[in-house]
Chain A
Amino acid sequence: MRTGVIKAYVLKEFTELVRTKLIVIVYLLPSMILILFGYGIKMEVKDVRTVILDYDKSKLSYQIISAFEHSKYFSPEVLNISEKEALSLMKKAKIDMIVIIPESFEKNLLKGIGSEIGIFIDASFPFRGLTIQSYAEGLLYNEASKLLSSDKAGLITVNQRNLFNQSMRDEDAIVPGLIGIVLLVSPAILSALIIVREKERGTIFNFYSSPVKKSEFVIAKLTPPFLLHSVNIFVMFLWATYLFKVPFRGSFLTYWITSEIYVMISVGIGLLVSIVARSQIVAIVLTIIITVIPGFLYSGIIMPISAMKGEASIEAHIFPVMYFNHIIYDTFLIGQGFASEKNLFYFMILLLYAFGLLVLGTLLMKKELR
């Protein structure tokens, strides 16, 4: 291991990064992804386009309509059209929900016969449909319990405590997970590109024919992406806490060290990709496919890890995202740090992962023509 060789190589890489303006992308891209997705992924649905068909026109039905009007989730319209027309509006994707209050709704209720309210929801976006359903049912049940404020025995109220994210902000839930994706994707792409570019241009033969050792080459090639993205760790933190106002409850040191190791993992993935890929375009597409998709699926952003079953659960345990995100969510929202054995255990796994990938990459790398 000669430090002089490595130093010269690293210097060359940095100059090239600046010359090709690749450095702009190193800092622009991660922040852009974080900001776009952070604002973009909203699980909350607002202003649902609702059509209410009121066939009753009684005091009670007006009460229900006004409840819909006062909710921020719905923007209702009372229309005088037939059910069929309303349905065709929905087929044209003009409205999302139809609420039908039948004739003599109030009369039947007062008589105690019982009546029904029909709710039709466009579920072609299934998750959106479910959310709308839970909003609408919640609203109607709420109205109902207001009407029937009886002191009947056996009334249970639910007293919930939303831990870690009291107001259930989407930003709090999503932004820490996004950091996990960004820090996985962009260092991997950069390090894969730096190596594959030489392959594509043929300048890799300089390395093949020179006495530079494989380990020196790997260190020299991976140091620039690692150092550059180490800065991104801080940038991401600032975006999350200042722009998205995500609380930070853990220790910054934990966040920092874990992220550095995670960037090492990502750089290692880039190294592995660069061994397989021969052209830059294949390298880019391959890296995106093996990082972005598991990044989203197994990060716990969209589905909690504890709720996964079978294959999904096994696959989630194979990719590094899950371990990192567990610690990141902990440092941002929970704040146990390494006091919890699980965090410590996951940290060890990440360390092993980083070490394993880098060693594997160095071993598999070829210093000759295939």
Chain B
Amino acid sequence: MRAFLTVLLKELIMFFRSWGLVAVVLYSFTVDVYIAGKGFEVKPRNVSVGYVDYTDGIISKKILSHLHPPEFQEPIRFNSQEELSKAVYNREIIVGLIFDPDFEKNYFKGKAQLNLLLDATAAAQSYITLSYIQNIVLRFNDLNFPVELKTHKLFNQNSDTPKFLALAEFLSILTLITVILSSVVFVKEKESGTWDIMLLMPVDSKVIILAKSISQIIIVMVGTIICTGIVLFGVFDLPMNGSFFAFVLLTLMYTFSTTGIGLFIASVAQSLVQVAQLSVIIMMPIIFLSGSWTPIYSMHPILQQLSLLSPLRYYIEGCESLFFRGTPVSDLWLYFAALFILGSVLYLFGFRKIGKLF
């Protein structure tokens, strides 16, 4: 036990001695998350609109009046279609509306056509913008359509992206930092040759490995508390619909399994440069299969099975459930179990591979 505490303390002191690393970790957990959350929004917002109006009638004005902030910028008038398409080609305007000269005449005949130029280089934005405009026009059509669509977006009624993006950034930073820190503590010793001396000591190698990993878990957990407390709750006002204690526990389980990945990398890598390479190569599929970009149900069935191996999958779903959905903890036991099993397997591998001199 004393050996355990000594190694633990040694690693913590080592960490705080390299002020550069401390600064980078602090920066990532605070400023970086802040920038990512504030930086951008995925839903159409401030979409730049331009129009050419050959009719000078009322109906075109009425339609334009529906395009208002926050979704759209004030529509800009262009004198000719050439000018408008030039602006679209220079990517200054995303949506261009063209009202033909006989638009108004046709409107009263009942077959008016609204021409729309859409910069589809940002496919996702364009798709949603298009459906916004279609909805505006449909509403304008004033069909005698007696069915009202009552849409409720649960758990995040306004589709508030900053909250979500800050959380997502926090998750990826946490993953990145944990994996890199926990593999570096081993490989640094390997590189300078002190790891062999560690193993020669009359202390069980498992104790040393656990002490080293746990010291990194402590650092990351402190970072997590700082990040959630100051940035996520303080700045972004993230809701906490589940229990905070469960979140801390889930994070602990998650860091346990990611330090397992770090241990795996450390047992394969011989130098710090290799750590960087390996961690990127291993992290990519983990993030890719986590369902944070592509929903898991939209993936190929084989990939869906593979995604069961990604610890980030359980953590993201667990965090989403705890923060937004407010799922009771009893429904989340599967996530805890999965993370624990993944971590244990990785640690067992690490014990065998790195914990033996011969």
A contact residues vs B (CB 8 Å cutoff)? 20, 22, 25, 28-29, 32-33, 36-37, 40-49, 75, 87, 90-93, 96, 108-109, 112-131, 133-134, 136-138, 140-141, 144-145, 148, 150-166, 168-170, 172-174, 189, 193, 197, 277-282, 284-286, 288-289, 293, 297-298, 300-309, 311-312, 315, 326, 329, 333-334, 336, 340, 342
Contacts and interface: CB of A to CB of B under 8 A. Distances in A.
Contact of A29 (B63, B107, B176, B277): B277
- A-B CB proximity, top 9 nearest: A43-B124, A123-B153, A114-B146, A165-B120, A124-B324, A173-B123, A160-B116, A126-B159, A162-B120
Given A41-B293, A164-B120, A119 B131 contact: no
Nearest to A304: B122
Nearest to A280: B272
Given A93-B321, A134-B128, A161-B118, A293 B35 contact: yes
Interface in B78-96: 88-94
Contact of A109 (B20, B21, B114, B147): B147
B159 A340 contact: no
Interface stretch (B2-10, B212-220, B278-286, B338-346): B278-286
Interface string B139-156: 011111111111111111
B342 to A, nearest CB: 19
A342 B93 CA distance: 14
Interface stretch (B41-49, B201-209, B247-255): B41-49
A297 B149 contact: no
B312 interface: no
Contacts of A129: 153, 156, 159
A317 to B, nearest CB: 14
Given A144-B143, A173-B120, A289-B24, A307 B150 contact: no
B243 interface: no
Contact of B107 (A28, A42, A156, A334): A156
B276 interface: yes
Contacts of B327: 91-93
B159 A127 contact: yes
Given A126-B43, A126-B156, A170 B116 contact: no
B131 A125 contact: no
Interface stretch (B227-235, B257-265, B294-302, B348-356): B294-302
B156 A124 contact: yes
A155 B155 CA distance: 36
Contacts of A32: 281, 284
Contact of B117 (A121, A127, A163): A163
B321 A121 contact: no
B159 A163 contact: no
A145 B143 contact: yes
A311 B142 CA distance: 40
A285 to B, nearest CB: 5
A123 B160 CA distance: 9
A275 to B, nearest CB: 13
A32 B180 CA distance: 19
B24 A155 contact: no
A289 B20 CA distance: 14
A289 B135 contact: no
B135 A137 contact: yes
B20 A278 contact: yes
B277 A164 contact: no
24 contacts: A43-B123, A91-B326, A108-B146, A118-B152, A121-B154, A124-B325, A126-B160, A126-B164, A127-B42, A141-B149, A151-B110, A152-B110, A153-B110, A156-B63, A156-B114, A163-B117, A172-B123, A278-B20, A297-B40, A298-B39, A304-B48, A306-B91, A315-B39, A329-B121
Contacts of B94: 304, 306-307
Contact of B155 (A75, A124, A305): A124
Contact of A141 (B108, B135, B280): B135
A173 B127 CA distance: 12
Contact of A125 (B20, B147, B164): B164
Contacts of B30: none
Given A29-B280, A159-B113, A293-B35, A93 B134 contact: no
B64 interface: no
A336 B169 CA distance: 36
Nearest to A189: B276
B173 to A, nearest CB: 9
Given A122-B325, A126-B156, A334-B89, 20 more contacts: A22-B277, A36-B284, A40-B294, A42-B294, A45-B298, A91-B321, A114-B148, A119-B152, A126-B43, A134-B132, A136-B151, A153-B109, A155-B111, A157-B111, A161-B116, A163-B118, A165-B121, A170-B123, A281-B184, A304-B119
Contact of A119 (B21, B130, B149, B180): B149
A166 B161 CA distance: 27
A27 to B, nearest CB: 12
B280 to A, nearest CB: 6
B239 to A, nearest CB: 10
Contacts of A155: 110-112, 141
B120 A168 contact: yes
A112 B146 contact: yes
Contacts of A134: 127-128, 131-132
A164 B153 CA distance: 32
Contacts of B138: 141, 145
A114 B90 contact: no
A293 B172 CA distance: 11
B20 A121 contact: no
Interface in B265-292: 271-273, 275-277, 280-281, 284-285, 288
B121 A156 contact: no
A33 B272 CA distance: 21
B152 to A, nearest CB: 5
A127 B167 CA distance: 14
B24 A285 contact: yes
B126 interface: yes
Interface string B311-345: 00000010011011111000100000000000000
B246 interface: no
A37 B280 CA distance: 13
**Residue among B176, B184, B294, B331 with max Cβ neighbours from chain A (10 Å):** B294
B65 interface: no
Nearest to A127: B42
A116 B150 contact: yes
